[in-house]
Amino acid sequence: MPGRKRNPLLLRFLIWRTKNLSQQQFVMLLSALIGFTAGLGAVAIKNLTHFIQLLLEGKFIANYHHAFYFVFPVIGLAITMVIIKFFLRRPVGHGIPSTLYAISMKKGIMRRMHMFASLITAPITVGFGGSVGLEGPTVATGASLGSNISRMFNMNQATRTLLIGCAAAGAMSSIFKAPIAAIVFAIEVFSLDLTLASLLPLLLASVSAILTSYFFFGSDIILPFSLKDSFEIADVPYYILLGVTASLCSIYFTKTYFKINDLFKNLKNPIMRLLVGGSALGVLVYFIPPLYGEGYDVINNLLQEDYVQAMGNTYFNAYFDNFWVVITLLAGLVVFKIVATSLTFNAGGVGGIFAPVLFMGSTMGHLFALFINHLNILKSPLSVSNFTLVGMAGLMAGVLQAPLTAIFLIAELTHGYELFVPLMITAAISFMVTTQFLPHSVYTMELAQRGELITHNKDQAVLTLMEINKVIENNFVPLKLGMTLGEIVHKGVIRSSRNIFPVVDDENNFMGILLLDDIRPIMFDKKLYDKVKIDELMQSAPEIIDSNKDGVRTIMKKFQDSDAWNLPVVKENKYQGFVSKSKLLTAYRKKLIEVTV
């Protein structure tokens, strides 16, 4: 890596590569390698999680398993906190948002620690019953591998970002055995350009990863379900209504997630967060056992309409023949799954939201179909299993704002495309309605609010990647408050080649600006040198750039609104320098070339 002494073998390989492989060929080779390593990461995370769950379901514990629902999540969260605090010594972060942040603000550079941090902490969180998924940590592990491998071979920023996308595609392909959906996921979530140059590496990574998964897991998949009922054109109005319902649930999911996050921000002590969040999660899981862990078993049981297995050992097992008991319990799963997920995160757990979204979506779709069928308004009842599947796509399209991923994932999981039309209807409506109220997904909301998000818009991506500190100019002569006209001329005008001067106080606080045009009519009148002071001549800046708050997009807008060519930059109101429109546009053009090459 840059700044470190290179391994002789690596150096010899790089020389051989330069002579024998083109850049494109080498990127193809790396994408296959990264897909393979991402697949191995997915296998390791899954196996470690299942090993922990197997230990907790041993003969001794199994007899008291329901009683342990309360304490297991707390134990897992405590172990996770100890590992992060004393061994990793850095926050692990949530998988996909932290990866997006690295792409947006760190030029795709991720710490080596992230190659194994989620690999250790996520299985402990989920294995002990944390109500989160493993997909996000798996993607983060693969992305970190992709980032560090690309740095090892001196890849530029654009290629590094592409290889991170390859890692994400590989991770998803390995987990779900859905290679097409994995490619679409990388393109939608990581905003990769869909060109032949990017599509081929993604394809190689996805294929490499799924072959790895087949080698270790055989043909086993997370949701082993095949369609039983065909799509009926008469059901279209209900798929439309399901899309609207999914959008409402998506809004509830996102707002609840961030609301609970905001509440926990008031708890500064991590031990207090663990105790409060862990205890609350334990109570929820004790009374609602299906909230324990990822929840794929619950989804599979709902697809089979096996409510006894889906709901686990609850106080209501004897009443499952009552329709309203089933409806109430399913509604409780929809309402409380995101609460359990948020509590897990805020108590210090490591995981992702992909599995909770699928869990909540399947439960919502199942509940929707049962309720419509109970009304007895249809000649033939709705297919409960089909609506369970389509419900997952609807919530994915709304919460993750990845409608194409939702469509292709469910289609691939069901080994056919008979549900393609209802999937498109529900996902499109959910996405369109949700985005009217929530312009960003759960993954990107916080980044977007801070102006640190790369989007599909190439201009916005370039603006996000630009660094304001690199375009600040410091060859302006500051003038102090209280200066006379004579001092302005001798200490400012004569020494400066610029026609604008920042005015500061004794503590370097920015107070305003002085233009050469403001003093030009009187600057040669020596009679006024001791009479006129800077306070009478200075003016407010048309706009001020705050380096702590303003992103490049905001700065561009300030230039546009003020029609100025130079704007002052402050940090905590201390003068830093100026940014000129011409230099900013030049930097933009350079970054555009860098990103698109």
Tokens of 56: 């907790």
CA atoms within 13 A on the CB side of 163: 33
Whether the per-residue pLDDT at 62 is higher than 60: the answer is: no
User: Nearest to residue 440, comparing CAs of 263, 242, 256, 255?
Assistant: 255
Q: What residue has token string 């990574």?
A: 205
- The band of 13, judged by pLDDT with boundaries at 50, 70 and 90, is confident
Residue 255 has what pLDDT?
Answer: 94
CA 78 to mean position of chain CA atoms: 25
- Whole-angstrom Cα distance, residue 573 to residue 562? 20
Q: Is the pTM of this model over 0.85?
A: no
Output 321 or 400, whichever has higher pLDDT: 400
Give the residue with greater pLDDT, 102 vs 182. 182
Give the separation between CA 218 and CA 239, rounded to whole angstroms: 34
Q: What per-residue confidence (pLDDT) applies to 3?
A: 46
Q: Residues 514, 503: contact at Cβ < 8 Å?
A: yes
To the nearest whole number, what is the mean pLDDT of the chain?
85
- Residues 31-53 have a mean pLDDT of 90
Rounded mean pLDDT of 363-383?
91
pLDDT at 242 over 80: yes
pLDDT tens digits along 152-207: 887 877 788 888 889 889 999 999 988 999 999 988 887 776 677 778 999 999 99
> Above 90 in pLDDT, residue 146?
no
Q: Would you state the pLDDT for residue 1?
A: 43
Which domains can be identified in the chain, with CATH numbers?
A: 8-217 (1.10.3080.10), 233-455 (1.10.3080.10), 461-596 (3.10.580.10)
Instruction: Give the pLDDT score at 593.
Output: 58
The highest-confidence range among 57-66, 176-185, 517-526, by mean pLDDT, is 176-185
Tens-place pLDDT, residues 534-559:
888 899 999 999 988 887 778 888 88
The tokens of 513 are what? 């600006």
- Joined together, the tokens standing for residue 222 give 């997370």
pLDDT score recorded for residue 2? 45
Highest mean predicted confidence (pLDDT) among 56-60, 300-304, 387-391, 487-491? 387-391
Q: Give residue 107's pLDDT band: very low, low, confident or very high (50, 70, 90).
A: low
Whether the per-residue pLDDT at 63 is higher than 60: the answer is no
Distance CA(554)–CA(353), nearest Å, equals 31
Parallel, antiparallel or unpaired: strands 574-580 and 472-473: antiparallel
Once rounded to an integer, what is the mean pLDDT over residues 512-533?
Answer: 88
Minimum mean pLDDT among 293-297, 335-339, 366-370, 455-459: which range?
455-459
